[in-house]
Structure formats: C-alpha cells, structure tokens
C-alpha cells in the first residue's frame, strides 16, 4: 500500500532546522560538549506549590471525567480576576474566556473558525511558525508583514496592500515578541485596532511573554486599548510564566463572538484540559507570585551576562526588555545559517538561524537563555575564543 500525505502536509515548507540538527548530531558524535541555546523551553522546574495542588486534584475522582471543552468555571473566573489585577481589564468569565490545552492549541485552531479557502491572514516574518501553519491548514493564505529593525520589529501596517488588507480576516501579532524580543507600544496597539476596524480584521494577540519582562518593565495587554475587545482576542500561556510547558495549559480572552467561535471548533475536536491541570493553573494564577519574580531575576541575570559577552566579542545586540531570547545580528559576511553553523562547529553552541522564523529573519540568529549562568559564561568564553 502507498501512504500518500495530504496536500496540507506536502505543502508545508521544508524543515529549516534539519541542517542544524544534522550538524548538532555530528558535533555531538565527535564528543564535543554542546551548549543548547536553541529551544525556547524553560530549564527551570514548575514551582512546588503548583505541583502539590495538581497532585491533590489528580487524586480526586471528580476530576477524572471529561472536563468542559471551554474550561472549568473556576479556572475561567481565576483568569478574569488575574486580568483585572494585572491589566485592569474586566472580563466576563462565562463569555470572554476560554481555557486552552496550551496557547499553541488555540492559535493553531482559530483559523478553522474564520478562514475559508483563499482568505488572507496577516502574520509576522520572522514569527512563531504556528500562525502561518494554522492558516495554511485552514486553507488560508499567509501575508507576511516583515518585522524590521528600523521599525523596532513592529509591522508597518501602512505597507500592507489595499487588496491584501481587504481579503484579510485575521491578523496575528505577538508582543513581547518571539523571536526578536521586541516590545509593543500603546500607539502600535491603537493603530492595530484602527486597522482592524477599517478592514474588518480579527486581531489575535499572542501574549505568551507578557510576564517575562525585566528591570521593572510590565508589558501591557492589547485589551487595555480602547476598542480592542470588539476586534480581537489575546492568547496567554502558563508555560513560560510558571515553567509549565509540559502541562499544556493556556487561555484566550476578549471578543465574545471570537471566543465562542474558537470554543465551537474546540468542542468538535478536543474535550478540554485535564481538570487537575486547570486546578494547578488556578493555584499558579492566584497563589504567591514570588516565583514569577524569581523567574524574571534568573533570566535578567543570564541576559546581562550573555549581552555583555556578545558585546565583548564584537557582536551587535541591544539588551532586550522582555522574553528569554536574544536576537543577534550576524557579523558581516555571514548568513543566519552560516553563522549558526560556525557557532556550533567551532564553539559547540546551538542557536536558531533567524531565517527559520521567516525570510525577514535572515541576518540574525536567536539565542534562548535556557541554560544556567555558568553555562552562559562558558558560552561567552567560547564565542570570544572564535575571534570574530
Ligand atoms: C512558547 C510560546 C507560546 C506558548 O505555547 P504553549 O502552547 O502555551 O506552551 C505561544 N506563543 C509563542 C510565541 C511562544 O513562544
């Protein structure tokens, strides 16, 4: 029998990290010690009080049955209270909140609710790949908004063609941003709301890194802007804030009609998140937030060591105000892939070539601050040793 994949899989772009994965194996096989700054997955454990809450909840038979696909009322209510405390935004937990099995799940599914074949979705390049892949799975066409250094890595909405803007149904934005570590301004969010109103575009703001910000900076919610709740939703994740990537818990909040349509898709695909995980999530959102401050301190310290080291090695990098990424310009004469390959083969350091996040990411590599400070110091020493 011949196993033939569907067009939606065949049409996916080739896996751009294949070459770096191959080189990684080669370097490892030579016995070289590898420092992996490639993946955006926290190396720190989930705080103990969250784990304990889930252990109690896992033992309770009331939690062993199918959960509600839209989330437990108690979890959605905890989300609404957290939003009020954190952003001063009122949410109706019954109508304006949906629990997600990780925010990636909601991001991948939302195009199924609104995109028909040929519809356009505005996505950033470079950007988190799920935006354009979710779009393509739903039969939509991604339109790439380039994130350029001269615009502070914010998309320039004025350069989107009239035709594409009119065909667009959804715009994905993400601040603080992966991979560029850029942060948004209130003016930018206001211009997004105006654009959405003019062209009837649903805004999906991915705020996975809203709590991972440094030096006292607290990113704002898209929903804080006047009119935002009528045009869009915001995705949040407990993954990065509470070191819970493996637990699969997140949520979307905002415009009732958009939240309901996403819930309708979910009710036909999944059956919600395990209630013990939602109860752990409630404990995370409502418990002691000292763990979040500790997380910020840890990454800020690593950031400072790596930024100083990269400067000493002659690389150009601005100190990011948020996220656990450094978006590093490659030295003259290198491509993203070439520089990532040099760092790997000469220094045993894994980074992610920027073009893997979209064509406009060419000329950069992304470094994730997901190893401890001693390993970061070791990485710095090795980079200086290359003699760039
Ligand atoms: C890590 C990350 C997420 C979070 O995904 P989960 O599915 O909630 O773990 C979402 N968006 C971006 C841009 C991310 O980097």
The predicted-structure confidence for 350-360, as pLDDT tens digits, reads as follows: 999 999 999 99
Query: How far away, in angstroms, is 103 Cα from ligand 1 center?
Result: 6
Q: Phi/psi of residue 220, each to 5°?
A: -90, 165
Q: What is the pLDDT of residue 48?
A: 98
The predicted-structure confidence for 202-234, as pLDDT tens digits, reads as follows: 999 999 999 999 999 999 999 999 999 999 999
State whether the Cα torsion 159-163-164-169 is positive or negative. Answer: positive
Query: How far away, in angstroms, is 283 Cα from ligand 1 center?
Result: 20
18 confidence band (pLDDT: 50, 70, 90): confident
- Domain total in the chain: 2
19 confidence band (pLDDT: 50, 70, 90): confident
Residue showing tokens 């030295």: 331
d(CA 217, CA 211): 9
State pTM to two decimals: 0.97
Domain of 229, in residue numbers: 48-286
CB 245 less than 6 A from any atom of ligand 1:
yes
The predicted-structure confidence for 155-203, as pLDDT tens digits, reads as follows: 999 999 999 999 999 999 999 999 999 999 999 999 999 999 999 999 9
CB 205 less than 6 A from any atom of ligand 1:
no
103 lies in the same domain as 205: yes
From 129, 132, 178, 211, mutation site for ligand 1 pocket: most ligand atoms within 8 A of C-beta? 178
Atom index in ligand 1 nearest the CA of residue 249 equals 8
Query: How far away, in angstroms, is 78 Cα from ligand 1 center?
Result: 20
272 lies in the same domain as 344: no
Beta bridge partner(s), residue 236: 251
244 lies in the same domain as 321: no
Position 16 pLDDT exceeds 70: no
The predicted-structure confidence for 101-119, as pLDDT tens digits, reads as follows: 999 999 999 999 999 999 9
Domain boundary among 286, 316, 338: 286
64 lies in the same domain as 27: no
DSSP 322: B
282 lies in the same domain as 297: no
Q: What is the pLDDT of residue 20?
A: 81
Query: How far away, in angstroms, is 174 Cα from ligand 1 center?
Result: 10
Q: Is residue 2 part of a domain?
A: no
102 lies in the same domain as 209: yes
d(CA 371, CA 46): 16
172 lies in the same domain as 306: no
Atom index in ligand 1 nearest the CA of residue 174 equals 13
The predicted-structure confidence for 56-87, as pLDDT tens digits, reads as follows: 999 999 999 999 888 899 999 999 999 999 99
318 lies in the same domain as 268: no
CB 240 less than 6 A from any atom of ligand 1:
yes
> Which CATH number is 253's domain given?
3.40.640.10
DSSP symbols for 62-131 = GGSSPPPTT--HHHHHHHHHHHHHHH-----TTTSEEEESSHHHHHHHHHHHHPPTT-EEEEEES--THH
Atom index in ligand 1 nearest the CA of residue 177 equals 13
Helix (H/G/I), strand (E/B), else coil: 48: helix
Average pLDDT estimate for 242-253: 98
Query: How far away, in angstroms, is 237 Cα from ligand 1 center?
Result: 6
Report the half-sphere exposure of 31 (CA within 13 A, side-chain side): 0
The predicted-structure confidence for 282-328, as pLDDT tens digits, reads as follows: 999 999 999 999 999 999 999 999 999 999 999 989 999 999 999 99
299 lies in the same domain as 161: no
Q: What is the pLDDT of residue 157?
A: 98
Give the rounded percent of residues in the chain with a pLDDT score beyond 70. 100
């Amino acid at each position: 029998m011949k196993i033939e994949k569907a067009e939606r899989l065949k049409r996916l772009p080739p896996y751009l990290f294949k070459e770096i994965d191959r080189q990684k194996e080669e370097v490892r096989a030579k016995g070289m010690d590898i420092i992996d700054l490639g993946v955006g997955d926290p190396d720190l454990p989930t705080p103990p009080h969250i784990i304990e809450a889930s252990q109690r909840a896992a033992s309770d038979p009331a939690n062993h049955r199918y959960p509600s696909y839209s989330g437990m009322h108690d979890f959605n209510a905890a989300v609404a209270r957290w939003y009020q405390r954190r952003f001063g935004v009122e949410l109706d937990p019954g109508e304006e909140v949906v629990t997600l099995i990780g925010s990636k799940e909601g991001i991948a599914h939302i195009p199924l609710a609104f995109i028909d074949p040929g519809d356009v979705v505005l996505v950033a390049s470079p950007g988190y790949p799920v935006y354009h892949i979710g779009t393509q799975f739903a039969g939509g066409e991604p339109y790439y908004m380039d994130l350029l250094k001269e615009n502070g890595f914010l998309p320039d909405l004025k350069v989107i063609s009239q035709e594409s803007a009119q065909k667009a149904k959804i715009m994905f934005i993400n601040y603080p941003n992966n991979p560029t570590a850029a942060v948004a301004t209130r003016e930018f969010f206001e211009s997004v709301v105006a654009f959405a109103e003019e062209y009837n575009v649903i805004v999906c703001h991915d705020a996975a890194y809203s709590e991972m910000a440094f030096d006292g900076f607290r990113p704002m919610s898209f929903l804080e802007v006047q009119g935002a709740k009528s045009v869009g939703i915001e995705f949040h994740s407990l993954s990065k804030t509470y070191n819970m990537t493996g637990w699969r818990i997140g949520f979307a909040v905002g415009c009732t009609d958009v939240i309901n349509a996403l819930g309708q898709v979910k009710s036909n695909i999944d059956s919600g998140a395990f209630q013990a995980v939602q109860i752990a999530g409630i404990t995370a959102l409502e418990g002691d937030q000292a763990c979040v401050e500790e997380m910020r301190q840890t990454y800020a310290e690593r950031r400072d060591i790596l930024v100083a080291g990269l400067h000493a090695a002659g690389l150009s990098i601005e100190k990011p105000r948020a996220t656990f990424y450094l978006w590093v310009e490659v030295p003259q004469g290198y491509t993203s892939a070439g520089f990532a390959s040099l760092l790997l083969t000469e220094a045993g350091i894994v980074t992610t070539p920027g073009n893997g996040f979209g064509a406009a990411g060419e000329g950069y590599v992304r470094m994730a601050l997901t190893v401890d400070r001693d390993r970061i110091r070791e990485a710095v020493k090795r980079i200086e040793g290359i003699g760039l």
